[in-house]
Chains A and B, each alone.
Chain A
Amino acid sequence: MLSVDLSNGLHEELESLALRNKARAIGVALHDLETGFRFSLRGDRWFHAASTIKVAVLLAVFRAVDEGRLRLGDSLHVRNRFFSAAGGTVFHVSADRDATPELYQSIGRTAKISSLAHTMISGSSNLATNLLLDFVGVDYARTVLRLAQVCGVELRRGVEDHAAHETGINNEATANGLLALLSAIRGDFLTNESKREVIGILLEQRFNSMIPAGLPPHATVAHKTGEISTACHDIGIVYLPEREPYIAVVLTEFDPDTEGRRETVAAISETIYRSLLGEKPKSNED
């Protein structure tokens, strides 16, 4: 199939899928490393980044490692006390809202930076994220994004910073921006050792009901999900043994309490897979 046909077909299918599933908006970006095919649907529309921003923090941490600013084996004081990007007031993250409440048992003690990086991604820990971002600094993380030539990812604050949210200071991203971020991870921006480590961390993702759910069982995905009341995202690198990987970014926005949000992202993932490989994902039973 010609890439223009592929693009048009995919565009049409995704638009109709979004409509059927009552998505307020979707943003999709794609880069197939097997064929070089690139695709984007509203790739420059800004979304609340939700937990996908943690991938930007991960990149900053490993860039800091590569620069010798920190070591993965270093220990960091686990403390649930952060300063808001809006006025510097103190805020805490909530164990009840954190997907990894275990880390809260370490408050007062220390945790290795490598362990925090794993927990931030695989368990989407808000506490681990804020600890790492507080340590490397928002300014440094933004500099890293700039150096990596990632436009379209605005990292402005830690997570659960409600005071900042109230004043409109949020982490935002476009599909194209997050595609650039994953491309930077896969490219030459990090040392080979850090690149392997970062992709290894993303492969350990525990929340697999979106991009991976739309793929055949033999696919593996290095990815990060992100969900808040109105946003439901998944971004990742899809590995298939028979071919080169492809990078997919799926951002969605719904009215709060809309059901089937994750299923919509999974359906978009399946549509992408089918379009690129020209076949439906085969289940184990086939």
Chain B
Amino acid sequence: MRTEFLRAVDGLRLPEEYRALLRPGETETDSLGNVHHLPRFFYEISSWKEAQDIQLAPHFTLAELMLVDCREARLLLSQFPHYVPCAIVLLARFLEDFRREVDAPLFISANGGYRSPAHQIGGAKSIHAWGTAANVYRIGDTFLSDARSIEKYRTIAASLSPAVFARQFGREQGQTDDHLHIDLGFVSLTPRECSEAG
């Protein structure tokens, strides 16, 4: 695992234009009415090359978990530094376990890893804003676009830990029909060198 490039920063100390988009530590109410604190601590990424070089787990680079499209806020899309919640390392670790269990490469979709609270899809209400969720659209050669494949891998993912949630197949609210959504809940990570005071 190559993580020597990782530099943790306190989001509360970022310039105002970043704080307005990342909303570090602010509360947000999810679709069920539960209140959560958005991530406060982030890894600062200085270039796309650096994101590609950061191997969070043997088969997952940071770049794979932060690929977004132009629905992301312009400041967080086209220029560096980028900021990614520290809990993303836990997601990578889980994905590695999942990959081992299914014995095939996992493909994370664009917009399927970390998305900032300013992203047009889901915004701060989405668990993707915590960096603890992944949308897998393909496992090995299998596109996850039908009930059979999604339910099969959903069962495997959920069996790995009680902390794991995987959405059911379907076309109703909270279901998916063209990928497998898995997440670890609203987890925030405070690096040991960081203080939560202030």
Contact = CB atoms under 8 A, between A and B. Distances in A.
Interface of A: 70-71, 74-81, 89-90, 92, 107-110, 113, 135
Contact of A110 (B67, B138, B171, B178): B67
B69 A90 contact: no
B138 A77 contact: no
B65 to A, nearest CB: 14
A75 B71 CA distance: 9
B109 A108 contact: yes
B110 A70 contact: no
Nearest to B111: A77
B143 A76 contact: no
Contact of B70 (A71, A78, A89, A92): A71
**Can you list the 4 inter-chain pairs with the closest CB atoms, starting with the nearest?**
A74-B70, A108-B137, A77-B110, A108-B109
Contacts of A80: 145, 178
Nearest to A81: B178
22 contacts: A74-B70, A75-B70, A75-B110, A76-B69, A76-B70, A77-B71, A78-B110, A80-B145, A81-B177, A81-B178, A90-B177, A92-B178, A108-B107, A108-B110, A108-B138, A108-B143, A109-B109, A110-B69, A110-B110, A113-B70, A135-B70, A135-B71
Contacts of B143: 107-108
Contacts of A81: 177-178
Nearest to B121: A77
Contacts of B137: 107-108
A109 B177 contact: no
B69 A75 contact: yes
A70 B72 CA distance: 12
A75 B137 CA distance: 18
Contacts of B177: 81, 90
A32 B95 CA distance: 62
Contacts of A77: 69, 71, 109-111
B110 A109 contact: yes
